[in-house]
Amino acid sequence: MKILSAEQIREADQYTIKYEPIVSSELMERAASKCSEWLRKKYDIHYSYQIFCGVGNNGGDGLAIARQLFQKGFDVKVYQVAFSSKKSPDFILNEKRIQDMDIPYKIIKRPSEFPPIKQQKNIVIDTLFGSGLNRPARGLAADMISYLNQESRHTISIDLPSGLFPEDNSENDMDFVIKARHTLTFELPKLALLFPENGPFVGQWHLLPIGLHPRFISEAETNYHFLTLEEIKPLLQKRKKYTHKGSFGHVKIVAGSRGKMGAAILATKAALRSGAGLVTAHIPGCGLESMQTSTPEAMVEENSGTNILQESSVETTGYSLGIGPGIGKDHSTKNFLRALLKNCKSPAVLDADALNIIAEDESCQKLIPALSILTPHPKEFQRIAGEYKGDLEKLQKQKDLARKLNCIVVLKGAHTSICMPDGRIYFNSTGNPGMATGGSGDVLTGLIAGLLAQGYSPENTALIAVFLHGMAGDYAAAEESVESLIASDLIHQFGKVFRNLIDS
Ligand SMILES: NC(=O)C1=CN([C@@H]2O[C@H](COP(=O)(O)OP(=O)(O)OC[C@H]3O[C@@H](n4cnc5c(N)ncnc54)[C@H](OP(=O)(O)O)[C@@H]3O)[C@@H](O)[C@H]2O)[C@@H](O)CC1
Ligand SMILES: [K+]
């Protein structure tokens, strides 16, 4: 699914009006009815609504939602926050409609007129600003936002939390942005909704399709995508009947050190469960027994080091390498990694301490095979890409790094972003906070290496693996809980994930 800029969404809006065709007030009515349907499904008739409107089309949405809820018998109160006298035509039309229906409607001109916010079974609907915000909120609008953030326990923002810019908030004043519990956004996600730093404002966000013209969307150009099931399913290969283990490649997991063998075991198990034909674990001697006992399906190749990986010759040809989980940063391990990368000619997966080592050694970065997949978490990413101020700058650094190394950079987090060397970025839609747990990244490394071995292109491998990994997390959280989720649970869910994705 594409992520378009506010400018493109405005164009999509105009294109739909012209070519569907539909009058703009009807498009607003459609958007509002999607919202009121969503609300009615979630909250029963005992809930009341306080709807705060600006004077643009976002405010117009608020007025239309108010009328629709009122018509269904809900207790609705509407407030126009008069921060400007320039009302949009569709706002004016909807204002007239609610006035004709005797819906309680007040105009707020100063903070002393802010109404008390009901605390029980009450929802505040925020329609002060949407995608038309063109400067940080100030004056009356800013006061209103602060007041609602302080008083309302349950705010739902329409299209965007008011005060949040759809893309770039680096210059914004975040004290004057609504903190919503839910955000109902139209048709396509906006970039700002995907940034972890905006989580406190956006809450949970939901996409409501409003029928913007499909031709405009399919022709619109963008580097940003939101990765959904529809895009992943066609990428997956079904196993053919006449195949044998040699058809599915050979993974080599290069991982572990004394005290961190768990990382190697998790990555190895994940590679096995990903469907790779054969998996070899290249580990320090101290891990031999634990690996063979816990993971009898894997072969073990002992490194010359007992406690850490140190220089020894490693065959790389014919393998998909997953390098880094639990290897530490000992001087000998650094030398080992350098020699390994020198030797390795096909795309590999680099994670954890492998990334920390290359972060400290620029010359080592040049040895990474083209189209390798790097999977840093934010701290590792910062070490390798440098400091950044906010998530937009972080995204730019991710693009710079992918281009510089000619690699795929998978930046882990809520909505993990996958950046291709040509600058395309995919945000993942699966996963949950329970996955922020030790070993979760090791599982991803094994899964990526396992898919790579089976002949998926590096690009498709990264997309599929991240999506599957998140989906496994969602299944695990549904069966147990977000709190209790541990990394092995993810591997246990791979079977169900594959079955649901490939067979259905
Ligand atoms: N596109 C779609 O598909 C559909 C879009 N729809 C809806 O339309 C919304 C976009 O509407 P929009 O363009 O009218 O802008 P909106 O966010 O209401 O605000 C603009 C007003 O705010 C003002 N203003 C701005 N910043 C300000 C500030 N800091 N402080 C004070 N004032 C400020 C600005 O005035 P000015 O800059 O001229 O002073 C103007 O008056 C979109 O989010 C969605 O909800 C749906 O109805 C149908 C389908
Ligand atoms: K809003």
Residues 339 and 403 in one domain: yes
CA of 125 to the centre of ligand 1 (A): 16
481 annotated as ligand-binding: no
Nearest CA to ligand 1 atom 37: 134
CA atoms within 13 A on the CB side of 448: 33
Establish whether 488 is an annotated binding residue.
no
73 is in an annotated binding site: no
For residue 427, the CA-to-ligand 1 centroid distance in Å is 26
Q: What is the pLDDT of residue 247?
A: 77
Cα(280)–Cα(264) distance, integer angstroms: 11
What's the mean pLDDT in 175-192? Answer: 97
If asked whether residues 44 and 155 sit together in one domain, one would say yes
Residues 359 and 472 in one domain: yes
pLDDT computed for residue 52 by the predictor: 98
248 and 217 share one domain:
no
The span from the CA of 176 to the CA of 173, in Å, is 6
State the closest ligand 1 atom to the C-alpha of 64, by its place in the atom list counted from 1: 47
pLDDT of residue 391: 96
Verify whether ligand 1 is closer than 6 Å to residue 162 (CB atom).
no
Q: What pLDDT, on a 0 to 100 scale, did the predictor assign at position 471?
A: 98
Residue 277: inside a domain? yes
Nearest one of 371, 358, 419 to 394, comparing CA atoms: 419
Gap from CA of 260 to ligand 1 centroid (Å):
53
Strands 417-419 and 408-411: antiparallel
Coarse DSSP helix, strand, coil percentages of the chain, rounded to the nearest 5 percent = 45, 15, 40
pLDDT confidence band for 243 (50 / 70 / 90): confident
Of 45-49, 243-247, 280-284, 307-311, the least confident: 243-247
* 36 CA distance to ligand 2 middle (Å): 15
Is residue 306 domain-shared with residue 335, that is, in the same domain?
yes
Check residue 239 and give its pLDDT.
74
pLDDT value of residue 171: 95
Q: For residues 28-54, give the mean pLDDT.
A: 98
Look-up of token digits 């950044």: 388
Q: Is the distance from the beta carbon of residue 159 to the nearest atom of ligand 1 less than 6 Å?
A: yes
Answer whether 85 contacts ligand 1 (Cβ < 6 A): no
Task: List, for residues 50-83, the tens digit of each pLDDT value.
Answer: 999 999 999 999 999 999 999 999 999 999 999 9
Residue 457: what pLDDT? 97
Q: What is the pLDDT of residues 435-472, one digit of tens each?
A: 999 999 999 999 999 999 999 999 999 999 999 999 99
Q: How many domains does the chain have?
A: 2
Whether residue 462 is found in the same domain as residue 426:
yes
Q: Provide the pLDDT for residue 33.
A: 98
What is the CA(86)–ligand 2 centre distance, in A? 17
CATH of the domain at 177: 3.40.50.10260
Q: Which residues pair with 48 in a beta bridge?
A: 75, 122
Report the mean per-residue pLDDT for the chain.
96
- Residues whose CB falls within 8 Å of the CB of residue 237, separated by 6 or more in sequence, listed in order: 454, 455, 456
Q: Of the ligands numbered here, which is closest to the C-alpha atom of 60?
A: 1
- Give the span between the Cα atoms of 26 and 7, in whole angstroms: 21
**Residue 242: what pLDDT?**
65
Give me the domain span that covers residue 35.
6-222
58 annotated to bind ligand: yes
Q: What is the CA radius of gyration of the chain?
A: 26
pLDDT (tens digit per residue) in 93-117: 999 999 999 899 999 999 999 999 9
Mean pLDDT of 263-290: 97
**pLDDT tens readout for residues 335-380:** 999 999 999 999 999 999 999 999 999 999 999 999 999 999 999 9
Position 358 scores a pLDDT of: 97
66, HSE (Cβ side, Cα atoms, 13 Å): 34
Is the beta carbon of 65 within 6 A of some atom in ligand 1?
Answer: no
Query: Contact, 63 vs 57, CB < 8 A?
Result: no
Position 503 scores a pLDDT of 67
Single-letter code of the amino acid located at 335: N
CATH number at residue 425: 3.40.1190.20
Same domain, 218 and 268: no
How far apart (Å, rounded) are the C-alpha atoms in residues 180 and 161? 6
Tell me which residue of 58, 88, 292, 307 sits closest to 178, measured CA to CA: 58
Residues 343 and 489 in one domain: yes
Mean pLDDT for 313-320 is: 96
Average pLDDT in the 418-427 region? 98
In a shared domain, residues 199 and 259: no
pLDDT above 90 for 237: no
C-beta 390 within 6 A of ligand 1 = no
Residue 270: C-alpha distances to residues 84, 249, 275, 465, 485 (Å): 57, 14, 9, 11, 16
Share of the chain above pLDDT 70, in %: 99
**Per the domain annotation, does 145 fall within a domain?**
yes
- Which atom of ligand 1 lies closest to the CA of 27? 48
Residue 250 sits at the vertex; the CA angle it makes with 249 and 256, to the nearest 5 degrees, is: 145
Q: Are 169 and 192 in contact (CB under 8 A)?
A: yes
Separation of alpha carbons 102 and 89, rounded Å: 21
pLDDT score of 245: 72
Ligand 1 mutation target, pool 24, 85, 133, most atoms within 8 A of CB? 133
In a domain? residue 236: no
- Which phi and psi angles does 220 have, rounded to 5°? -65, 140
Residue 139 labeled ligand binder: no
**Would you call the peptide bond into 209 cis, given omega within 30 degrees of 0 as the criterion?**
no
- Report whether 12 belongs to an annotated binding site: no
**End-of-domain residue from the set 222, 251, 283:** 222
Q: What is the pLDDT of residue 241?
A: 64
